Amino acid sequence: MGISLSGITHAGQNLRKPVLLTLLGVCIEIEVVIASFILSEVWREWGRGLFGSTKIYHQWHQGNSLLGLFGSLILVLGVTSFSRKLRISRAALNWVYVAGGFLIILKSFDVVNTVFVDYMDRLFESYPDMDSFINNLLILCGCLTVLVGLMWAMYDISRLNITLSEQNAQLDREMQERSDTESRLSVQEKRLSSILQALPSPVFLLNIDGFILAHNKFFALLWGRGEENLVGLHLRQVLPEALFERGKSFSMRVFERNAPENYVVNISNRTYEINTYPTMDEEGNVPSITVLALDITDKLRGEEERRLLQEAVNSAAESIIIVDETGLIEYVNPAFEEQSGYSRKEVQGQLYNLMHSEALDEALIQEIKDTLEQGKSWRGRLISQKKDGALMYETATISPITNQDGVIKHYVSVKRNITRELQLEQQLQQAQKLEALGTMAGGITHNLNNVLAIILGRSELGAQMLEAENPARENFEIIMRTAARSSDMIKRLLTFSRKQAGGMKPVEVAPLIREQLSLMRNYLPSNITILEAILLDKEIIIADAVELQQAFVNLINNANYAMQPEGGELEIGLDKVCIDNELLATTGMLSPGDYVRLRVRDTGCGMDSDTQMRMFDPFFTTKAADEGTGLGLPMVHGSVLRAGGQIQVESAPGKGTEISLYLPAAEETARGIEEASLEMPVSGRGITVMVVDDMADFSDLLTMNLEYFGFEVCSFSDPEEAMAFFSDNPDMVKVAVLDYMMPGMNGKDLGAALKNIRPGLPLVLLSGYACGITNENARDFGFSAMFDKPVEISTLARMLASLVSQS
């Protein structure tokens, strides 16, 4: 209501002037009517007697008419203005105009009439009487017209009052709504201002001319303006010039395209992403833009850390597997693909246990589940199965991954393939066993060889002293063969337990294998079918021919045993292979290069994994006690290793066995096959031999046998006595035979002492112990030759005669 009263007061002030004009016009008209009436009555009563003449009367009447015209004009102006101020309807306003027009016409006619009368007086010198009826009629019409217009106006005013009341009420409502809207807008403005100030990132509004319309405190702080109000400043006054020019180009594109833009800038060693958005009005125009600067330094650093983590995971040598809480695989790294043979697509969405080997027992699986359900990490060894079915031994760490609420949502498994390490560990254990066996063998074989040497030497001497037809000679030969087999057994024991190589020479593999296979055909039973696949002819390897031949025989014997009693197929293969990358064989790693591969495959019973793990252990055998010694495969293993090769075993129960020997192929320049020399009769006449051995029986045996071949022998059991004798007679001795293992001074040291006295003295070393000296490296220690005990006297005699003749 306060608003409507204010409006009425204001309206009253505006109506004051029209009302005054109207009252003034009414007063003039009343005065004119009264004056006209008085003049008419006076003229009627007194006529010219009072006025003196008609002319004076008409002049007075004319002046009164002019005054009436002036009053009517003022009255019409006041009424018209008053009607307009009241904002009456157009129809009522037209009636006011018509009434005012009649009044003015009436007054004008009255003036014309007085002028006409005055004109007629001047023209005819007479004054016609004015028509009072017409004047009165006109006055009546004018008044009626004004009365109708005023009544209409009053009626319209009453309606206007009603309408004005309604409009005032509507105006009150609109003003109240406007007030409420302004209040809401004020609250929203404060809320938006609070939100703007609460934003942790710099934000500001900019018009198209580049002036700042609004901003938050962080925008001012970013540019070192503290709490300063930057509204109204041009953006160029706030930003560095280079940054302003760059931002200007992006901002203009936002205004032109009505689409967001963003770019990255560096400010004070921090990286910001500038996001510019158009701010549209109701008509779809873009009067301003909103600019938000997001500090993405930590985000970029986090992305870089995640990238490095991803690269680390992808580059890790360990298999990394992430599964969800149901056990479905979500992620595997490249190491998993390489080691397992499965691709990422093949395992994603599959259960994690797809790689579990049947070798895992239920107790271990349950242990893993119980540990993980407690929120702890499980660590241990697992046996996994590759895509090709091969087993893989791994050390695994499986850990639960929880969300923010502590609920387990994922599991991560980090596994390292230790198959090669286990094989290397087994090889180390094998080597340690061999070393222990060698130590043990070295401690007993010396005495055994000495005993066998006496048995063999006495038997050989006895056989030579008998006639060929003498029946007792056969007994000596049996003793000799038995001693030779025993000696061979001891040599085999020493061979695979030695760390150094034996008689390594260039060997043509194919002729050796063909020859031995030809002999074995007669030995193998008829239920064995031999398949020969020898694809080489003159390929050379560096190996001990005897060891290689014995290794081949051992593999044939084992294959035959595995196929009995049903029999089967025995395939012998010999070919050349080229290995481009490192290959993990059963017994170790094969370096890249060319290899001669000797394969022995049978269709026998095969071997389980436990047997394969122990097949190269000394004295391990699956044969009956009277059928095997457990030294065959260990000897094969040792022979191949000494030749620089490795062994690959593929076997499964009921599927047979295939053993491949990979032996490094030698260069063509190594082709130096020694031709067997024809045996010549031995004669030791004129040759004095010094024999030094602490075992008297063997020394006596050696003396007797060498004397049988014509040698003159000086025998000593004490190295010191031998040294004293040689010092006195250095030129008498042509060649010396020394035992290695002697008390006080071993054969190597005694030989060095003899060489100091006579450097050109030929020396031959005998040993029943693995002393580290072989026939190949004997010259490095000052010896011309080396023989293992027991030795054939004829061979030794031939060597002694040869050395003396060469010297």
pLDDT in tens, 327-346: 899 999 999 998 888 998 98
Using the predicted structure, report yes or no on whether residue 1 has a pLDDT greater than 60. Answer: no
- Residue 756: per-residue pLDDT: 92
Phi (first) and psi of residue 591, to 5 degrees: -75, 155
Q: Average pLDDT, whole number, for the chain?
A: 78
CATH architecture of 688-806: 3-Layer(aba) Sandwich (3.40)
If one compares 304 and 54, the residue with the highest pLDDT of the two is 304
Three-class secondary structure of residue 578 per DSSP: strand
Confidence of residue 537 (pLDDT cuts 50, 70, 90): confident
Confidence of residue 33 (pLDDT cuts 50, 70, 90): low
The rounded Cα 255 to chain-centroid distance in angstroms is 42
199-301 fold: Beta-Lactamase (3.30.450)
- Residue 334: per-residue pLDDT: 92
* Strand 583-584 versus strand 589-590 pairing type: antiparallel
Do the domains at 199-301 and 316-417 have one common CATH topology? yes
Q: Are 461 and 707 in contact (CB under 8 A)?
A: no
Q: Are 546 and 531 in contact (CB under 8 A)?
A: no
316-417 fold: Beta-Lactamase (3.30.450)
CATH architecture of 425-494: Orthogonal Bundle (1.10)
- Residue 144: per-residue pLDDT: 62
Using the predicted structure, report yes or no on whether residue 74 has a pLDDT greater than 70. Answer: yes
Query: What's the per-residue H, E or C state across 475-536?
Result: HHHHHHHHHHHHHHHHHHHHHHHCCCCCCCEEEEHHHHHHHHHHHHHHHCCCCEEEEEEECC
- Residue 689: per-residue pLDDT: 93
Using the predicted structure, report yes or no on whether residue 21 has a pLDDT greater than 90. Answer: no
Residue 557: beta bridge partners?
none
Using the predicted structure, report yes or no on whether residue 5 has a pLDDT greater than 60. Answer: no
Average pLDDT rounded to a whole number, residues 711-729: 92
- Residue 134: per-residue pLDDT: 52
Using the predicted structure, report yes or no on whether residue 505 has a pLDDT greater than 60. Answer: yes
- Residue 173: per-residue pLDDT: 82
- Residue 3: per-residue pLDDT: 35
Using the predicted structure, report yes or no on whether residue 535 has a pLDDT greater than 80. Answer: yes
If one compares 259 and 48, the residue with the highest pLDDT of the two is 259
Residue 62 CA to residue 68 CA, distance in Å, equals 10
Burial, 323: exposed, middle or buried (Cβ in 10 Å; 0-12, 13-18, 19+)? buried
- Residue 213: per-residue pLDDT: 86
Average pLDDT rounded to a whole number, residues 206-220: 86
- Residue 526: per-residue pLDDT: 87
Lowest mean pLDDT among 111-125, 474-488, 765-779: 111-125
Using the predicted structure, report yes or no on whether residue 710 has a pLDDT greater than 80. Answer: yes
The sheet with strand 288-295 has its strands ordered as: 212-215, 203-207, 288-295, 270-279, 261-267
Confidence of residue 678 (pLDDT cuts 50, 70, 90): very low
Q: What percentage of the chain exceeds 70 in pLDDT? A: 73
pLDDT in tens, 613-669: 888 877 777 776 556 666 778 888 888 888 888 899 999 999 999 999 999 988 654
Using the predicted structure, report yes or no on whether residue 754 has a pLDDT greater than 90. Answer: yes
Q: Taking the CA atoms of the chain, what radius of gyration do you get in angstroms?
A: 67
500-670 fold: Heat Shock Protein 90 (3.30.565)
Confidence of residue 714 (pLDDT cuts 50, 70, 90): very high
Query: What's the per-residue H, E or C state across 126-145?
Result: CCCCCCHHHHHHHHHHHHHH
- Residue 720: per-residue pLDDT: 92
Confidence of residue 132 (pLDDT cuts 50, 70, 90): very low
- Residue 60: per-residue pLDDT: 65
- Residue 659: per-residue pLDDT: 93
pLDDT in tens, 406-417: 888 899 999 998
Residue 75 CA to residue 654 CA, distance in Å, equals 137
pLDDT in tens, 367-376: 888 888 888 9
Average pLDDT rounded to a whole number, residues 385-405: 87
Q: Are 56 and 116 in contact (CB under 8 A)?
A: no
Most confident of 176-180, 477-481, 482-486, 692-696: 692-696
Using the predicted structure, report yes or no on whether residue 466 has a pLDDT greater than 90. Answer: no
pLDDT in tens, 214-272: 888 888 888 888 778 888 899 888 888 888 888 888 888 888 888 888 888 888 888 88
Lowest mean pLDDT among 15-29, 291-305, 731-745: 15-29
Tell me how crowded residue 516 is: count the other CB atoms within 10 A of its CB. Answer: 16
| Domain ranges (residues) in the chain | 2-176, 199-301, 316-417, 425-494, 500-670, 688-806
Lowest mean pLDDT among 124-133, 379-388, 710-719: 124-133
Average pLDDT rounded to a whole number, residues 311-324: 88
Average pLDDT rounded to a whole number, residues 44-62: 57
